[in-house]
């Protein structure tokens, strides 16, 4: 059996430090906005090369908080890719704004800057690119567009802790970046968690208020906020794991390179990852995706689909303007994408086993 990610193996690798970190929080009792939260915020911001880190309860909340702090709400539009996890669209929606979808690049699955300009209206307030699968979106092109049209640039960096490309890095490539620490992400908590990073001090201050009932001082509430904080217990776990993140991301790149070589001659479309990605997922595409997935799963390989539907195809949006578009590349990605197992504890032999199973599955599909 080869799982998609192996959280048990990860715990076993870091157990003494994780146990001690969690125990120390319980002994101190500073469960809400305790010292581990403040320490983790500054450590994670430094890791990204950003000035400020603001913990929150989830990646979805980070996206909502980013919109609220930028005063993006009812009557405003936010441009985002038609192919992503649904939370990318939920962030602006929960803030009261209208998500506007744009199709993705055929090769990378990333927001296509060439199609962004046509979607800009007088109501557009922000671009919200996603660093899908751990590869940086085309930030130079998107920044040029955002500057020209005076738009905020919000990164959905939920899959890209540590991703870089040229001079750009996830967490400091836009106005504000939104991270998730869902357990399966490259940096994952033992529950839900999220973080915003920014170089804008006043935006950071506003975010700190908004995540804490709109108050900077206890029982003095300047505005209507959320209860959306990162737990001290989660921050303690994340501090331990952050120390391994660079090495873990490097191991993910080794695994991806091994897949690239092993799969090069197969009738599959490999994702064209640019820059130095962190391979949150290793995704290939095939018109026979559903059969390949069944074959791999039957062989005990935890392959999966990220994602089976483009954003506009979800039932949740059937009555919404964003349910009415046609985005051929996003729909094709949704039909053909297949995620292979990739996690730092994965051995070379396991990579070869997945590649062999895929080769056999493709031979069956062709027969």
Ligand X SMILES: *Cc1c(COP(=O)(O)O)cnc(C)c1O
**Which tokens hold the place of 10?**
């990860």
Q: CB of 183: closest distance to ligand X in angstroms?
A: 9
Task: Determine the Cα–Cα distance for residues 325 and 306; give it in Å rounded to an integer.
Answer: 20
Q: CB of 222: closest distance to ligand X in angstroms?
A: 26
Q: CB of 339: closest distance to ligand X in angstroms?
A: 12
Residues in 188-207 that interact with ligand X by CB under 6 A: 192, 194
Q: What share of the chain is helix, strand, coil (3-state, %, to 5)?
A: 45, 15, 40
Under the criterion CB under 6 A, does residue 158 sit at the interface with ligand X? yes
Under the criterion CB under 6 A, does residue 84 sit at the interface with ligand X? yes
Residues in 121-140 that interact with ligand X by CB under 6 A: 130
Residues in 162-181 that interact with ligand X by CB under 6 A: 180
For ligand X, how many residues bind (rule: CB under 6 A)? 15
CB under 6 A: which stretch of 156-164, 241-249, 250-258, 355-363 binds ligand X? 156-164
Under the criterion CB under 6 A, does residue 85 sit at the interface with ligand X? yes
Closer Cβ to ligand X, 242 or 358, answer by number: 242
- For tokens 């990204």, the residue is 48
Under the criterion CB under 6 A, does residue 88 sit at the interface with ligand X? yes
- For tokens 């033992």, the residue is 190
Task: Determine the Cα–Cα distance for residues 327 and 103; give it in Å rounded to an integer.
Answer: 5
Alpha carbon 42 to chain centroid distance? Answer: 20
CB under 6 A: which stretch of 25-33, 57-65, 102-110, 214-222 binds ligand X? 57-65
Task: Determine the Cα–Cα distance for residues 147 and 351; give it in Å rounded to an integer.
Answer: 43
Which of 44, 83, 182, 259 is close enough to bind ligand X by CB under 6 A? Answer: 182
Task: Determine the Cα–Cα distance for residues 367 and 361; give it in Å rounded to an integer.
Answer: 10
φ/ψ (deg, to 5) at 4? -70, -45
Taking CB positions, which residue lies at the least distance from ligand X? 59
Residues 6+ apart with CB under 8 A from 244: 14, 344
Under the criterion CB under 6 A, does residue 159 sit at the interface with ligand X? yes
Q: CB of 91: closest distance to ligand X in angstroms?
A: 8
Three-state SS at 237 = helix
φ/ψ (deg, to 5) at 274? -100, 170
Closer Cβ to ligand X, 53 or 361, answer by number: 53
Please confirm whether the linkage preceding 275 is cis (ω < 30° from 0): no
Among candidate residues 150, 155, 147, the one with its CA nearest the CA of residue 173: 155
Which of 33, 66, 82, 87 is close enough to bind ligand X by CB under 6 A? Answer: 87
Under the criterion CB under 6 A, does residue 59 sit at the interface with ligand X? yes
Alpha carbon 315 to chain centroid distance? Answer: 22
Q: CB of 239: closest distance to ligand X in angstroms?
A: 18
Q: CB of 255: closest distance to ligand X in angstroms?
A: 19
Residues in 3-22 that interact with ligand X by CB under 6 A: none
Under the criterion CB under 6 A, does residue 232 sit at the interface with ligand X? no
Three-state SS string across 173-230, please? CCCEEEEECCCCCCCCCCCCCEEEEECCHHHHHHHHHHCECCEEECCEECCCCCECCC
Q: CB of 85: closest distance to ligand X in angstroms?
A: 4
Where do contacts with ligand X occur on this chain (CB under 6 A)? 58-60, 84-85, 87-88, 130, 156, 158-159, 180, 182, 192, 194
């Amino acid at each position: 059996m080869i799982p998609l990610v192996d959280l048990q193996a990860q715990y076993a690798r870091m157990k003494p430090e994780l146990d001690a970190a969690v125990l120390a929080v319980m002994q101190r009792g500073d469960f809400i906005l305790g010292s581990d939260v403040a320490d983790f915020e500054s450590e994670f911001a430094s890791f990204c090369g950003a000035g400020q880190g603001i913990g929150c309860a989830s990646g979805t909340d980070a996206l909502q908080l980013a919109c609220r702090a930028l005063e993006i709400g009812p009557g405003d539009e936010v441009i985002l890719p038609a192919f992503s996890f649904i939370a990318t669209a939920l962030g602006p929606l929960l803030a009261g704004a209208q998500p506007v979808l744009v199709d993705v690049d055929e090769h990378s699955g990333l927001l296509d800057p060439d199609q962004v300009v046509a979607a800009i209206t007088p109501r557009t307030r922000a671009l919200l690119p996603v660093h899908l699968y751990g590869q940086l979106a085309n930030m130079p092109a998107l920044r040029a567009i955002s500057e020209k049209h005076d738009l905020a640039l919000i990164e959905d960096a939920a899959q890209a802790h540590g991703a870089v490309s040229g001079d750009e890095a996830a967490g400091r490539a836009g106005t504000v970046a939104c991270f998730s620490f869902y357990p399966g992400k490259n940096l994952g908590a033992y529950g839900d968690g999220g973080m915003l990073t920014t170089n804008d001090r006043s935006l950071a201050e506003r975010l700190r208020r908004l995540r804490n009932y709109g108050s900077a001082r206890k029982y003095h509430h300047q505005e209507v906020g959320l209860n959306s904080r990162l737990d001290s217990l989660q921050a303690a776990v994340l501090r331990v794991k952050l120390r391994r993140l660079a090495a873990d991301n490097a191991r993910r790149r080794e695994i991806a390179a091994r897949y690239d070589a092993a799969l090069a001659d197969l009738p599959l479309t490999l994702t064209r990852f640019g820059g130095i990605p962190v391979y949150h997922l290793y995704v290939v595409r095939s018109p026979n995706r559903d059969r390949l997935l069944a074959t791999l799963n039957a062989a005990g390989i935890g392959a999966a689909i990220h994602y089976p539907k483009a954003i506009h195809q979800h039932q949740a949006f059937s009555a919404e303007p964003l349910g009415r578009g046609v985005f051929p590349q996003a729909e094709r990605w949704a039909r053909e994408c297949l995620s292979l197992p990739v996690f730092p504890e994965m051995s070379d032999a396991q990579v070869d086993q997945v590649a062999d199973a895929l080769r056999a599955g493709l031979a069956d599909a062709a027969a």
